[in-house]
Structure 1
Amino acid sequence: MSDDDKLPALRKQISAIDDDLVKLLEKRAAIAKEIGEYKKSKGLPVHDWSREQEVLKRVLERPLQLLDPADLEKVYKEIMGSCRHLENLEEKVGYLGPEGTFSEIAAREFFSDAGNAFVPYDSNWQLFRALEAGTIDYGVTPVENSTQGTVTETVDLLLDSPSIKICGEIEVKVHQNLIVNPGAKEKDITTIFSHPQAIAQARKYLQERFHGVQVKETFSTSAAVKQAKDAGKTCAAIGSELAARYNGMEILGHAIEDNPNNQTRFIVIGKLSMRPTGNDRTSIIFTLKHEPGSLFHALEVFSRHSINLTKIESRPARHLPEIWQYNFFTDFEGHVADAGVALALQQLAEHTIFLKILGSYPKFIPKVN
């Protein structure tokens, strides 16, 4: 084969493979539709999110020579989303808005674009209320930052909600940026807007570069970008590249966060319980009795059953009439359906005056670079 013939021949092979892929995708969609119709006839939930997690886990366990597992995961999420779209099963996913927040970035990374509609909400409270009312199917909201710690509002809303559960989680590397109107210079800036967490994450940068400049808090980083846009060249915002693109703004400073390893953990909330996958996390909130050794005995339960705690943090127990009572927000490895976990929770309840299971869900698996 001459060099002139090689490229057309290789492209012909690609075209043949594409033809086969389309046929297989059509076959998969037909089977998925048949499964959906069967579930409807039996009164079963048509969308089985736990099953989708199992499919992803099985696919990603296959040995790969060239494909990046993260790219393969995205492809399969879109395939499964397309099958839901075929059955008119589009789901609404809410996130803390407006458009361009890190919550939107997390939502779009976790869910597929196909088969889902993304809806921004102005506050966490509105997001939770929409989920309670059934206006959306799932929500995505920040729960913890590696630099600034727990997002206490999210924990309080989980505590107060009667039916919302944690269904999943995703970690997003957060790069904060100084965003300005086109043509604005650093010397022009007199006011900087952003969310309190973003301001805290870039505190050193602000003190060194913008000492004396007025810093104003907003309810989200994207709202800050919109506010800076409307205010003109003397105002800037701290936020995501996505927010800058949405608003036609420029980035004057890239990755201005103090900690280069700055990450935020987002939770996916819904009303469905997730089946165990073998690699799960459980989140709970409990309040202890005022007795000597009560915290020791509570934690000893997890040690006894070889359960690894990944987080424990105390918060004032607003739901109890007594002052100086504290809730313990706790994450650990395992699923409530696991025998050891179920027994541990049963024994933990003996030491508590309040215990709420927030959800068992698949653990986030960091992508290998």
Structure 2
Amino acid sequence: MLKIKESMDIISVKNGGGDVIDLQKCREEIDKIDSQIVELFEQRMKISQNVAEYKINTGKPVLDKTREQQKLDSVEELASTKYNGQAVRELFSQIMSMSRKLQYTMMTYNQAREFHKIKEIPKSKDTRIVYFGTKGSYSEQAMEEYFGTKITSSGAPTFYEVMSKVSSGEADYGVLPIENTTTGGITDIYDLLVEFDNYIVAEHVLKIDQALLSLPGAKLSDIRTVYSHPQGILQSRKFLEQYSNMKAVEYGSTAGCAKKVLEDGDKNQAAIASIRAASTYGLEVLASNINYEEVNSTRFIIITKQCQFCEGSDKMSICFTLPHESGTLYSMLSHIIYNNLNMSKIESRPIPGKKFEYRFFVDFDGCIEEPAVINTLRGIEAEALDIKILGNYIGVDL
């Protein structure tokens, strides 16, 4: 027997035992219970503040895993069914997570204090820049677009050497590619950001148009060996698949490959590089725009060994490692969500010496001075095995 309003909304129905279930009455009872839950939740959070003050005064950490596990086990046992027990456990996991986040707002965060603000990055003849590759490289182009040409610059043949020169103080800033819209993140750069105590202070996005370069007079049918950086080969793989006579060989930077073709003087060789590199080394363009994605852009990072950020910085990059346990990544990312910050990127890299364990690299919006960012960093620092701020800088709209 159904009672139905003129609007056709069902307001009551008999259950299997013959009792009438009234939807409106059920909703009113739920609202009453929810009010009680909110009141009790606020009482619990108020007590959590007292707990935080105690921990601050005694130097105890916010997260006490043993205590939390004992608490979760005990509340799960209070439930009348197995399903409710699992649900209660999940509910209290979230409640305790909220409690920790409140406590983190009352504590200090040391890494954030190490960073100091500058008005802008210097771009004068006294500014020493090292970029990946040699003259004519995309990294050199990105450097000139960002810094201009009135600087002191030099190239380095490897990502490692760029990082090393910045870390040693031989260069003030370094320019490195970190991500491409076609091939994704450049994993070596992420690993080096962990290995070296260098920091991202800016980023620059460059449109990449790959070209096939050869000695003057060479034809497509002459080419047997094509040299390029692995990224250049990947971005142009569909073009290369059309020519069975061409074998791709990885070799340094794209501009370095153009230089090799010139120096070897072999018409059977070609390089995948920029038209800028062709002009630099006097090579001919056999084919242009050979990257298979038309929207092919690379994001470059500007690194320095100084813990600094510019006025107007609105993008954070961090990395952290986690206990190899269920739900730990969710717990880390929940700090970003809780503080209403937008996460724009996440990458993972294997941890050397660990079997199938990973370090996570995360970008999210915000400035290191903002309370929401500080709270996020506090929470992740307390619950991750380790955390490093990779940089705070002005993000580029892609």
TM-score tier, shorter chain, comes to 0.7 to 0.9
Matches of 1:184 and 1:212, distance apart in 2 = 14
- State the 1:351 CA deviation: 2.3
Identical positions, percent:
35
Corresponding position of 1:99: 135
Change (3 A) 1:249 1:322: closer
Which portions of structure 1, spanning 4 or more consecutive aligned residues, are displaced by more than 4 angstroms? Answer: none
The superposition leaves residues 75-107 of structure 1 with CA deviations (integer Å, 9 ceiling, x where unpaired) of xxxxx84xx45xxxx111000011111111111
- State the 1:159 CA deviation: 0.2
Corresponding position of 2:88: none
The superposition leaves residues 229-270 of structure 1 with CA deviations (integer Å, 9 ceiling, x where unpaired) of 224211111001111111011111111100000010000000
Aligned partner (choices 205, 209, 227) of residue 193 of structure 1: 227
- State the 1:279 CA deviation: 4.8
Instruction: Answer with 268-277 or 219-228: which moved more.
Output: 268-277
What CA RMSD, in Å, does the superposition of the two structures yield over aligned residues?
Answer: 1.7
Q: Is the 8 A contact 1:276 1:335 kept in 2?
A: no
Corresponding position of 1:159: 194
Q: Matched residue of 2:120: which SS?
A: helix
- State the 1:291 CA deviation: 2.4
| 1:179 equivalenced with 2:213 (yes/no) | yes
User: Aligned AA for 2:120?
Assistant: E
Corresponding position of 1:224: 257
Corresponding position of 1:288: 322
User: Aligned AA for 2:396?
Assistant: F
- State the 1:338 CA deviation: 1.2
Corresponding position of 1:363: 395
The 5 Å alignment of 1:130-145 reads 130-145=165-180
Aligned partner (choices 336, 341, 356) of residue 324 of structure 1: 356
| 1:215 equivalenced with 2:248 (yes/no) | yes
Corresponding position of 2:185: 150
Q: Is the 8 A contact 2:235 2:293 kept in 1?
A: yes
The answer for unaligned runs of 5 or more in structure 2 is: 1-115
| 1:235 equivalenced with 2:303 (yes/no) | no
- State the 1:272 CA deviation: 2.6
| 1:254 equivalenced with 2:288 (yes/no) | yes
Matches of 1:187 and 1:108, distance apart in 2 = 36
The superposition leaves residues 298-318 of structure 1 with CA deviations (integer Å, 9 ceiling, x where unpaired) of 111111111111110111012
Aligned partner (choices 84, 107, 113) of residue 149 of structure 2: 113
User: Aligned AA for 2:159?
Assistant: N
Q: Matched residue of 1:52: which SS?
A: coil
TM-score (norm 2): 0.68
- State the 1:348 CA deviation: 1.4
Matches of 1:271 and 1:102, distance apart in 2 = 23
Matches of 1:232 and 1:144, distance apart in 2 = 33
The superposition leaves residues 179-209 of structure 1 with CA deviations (integer Å, 9 ceiling, x where unpaired) of 011111111111111111100101111101x
Matches of 1:152 and 1:275, distance apart in 2 = 24
Matches of 1:301 and 1:165, distance apart in 2 = 22
Q: Is the 8 A contact 2:133 2:252 kept in 1?
A: no
- State the 1:276 CA deviation: 5.4
- State the 1:49 CA deviation: 8.8
Change (3 A) 1:212 1:306: same
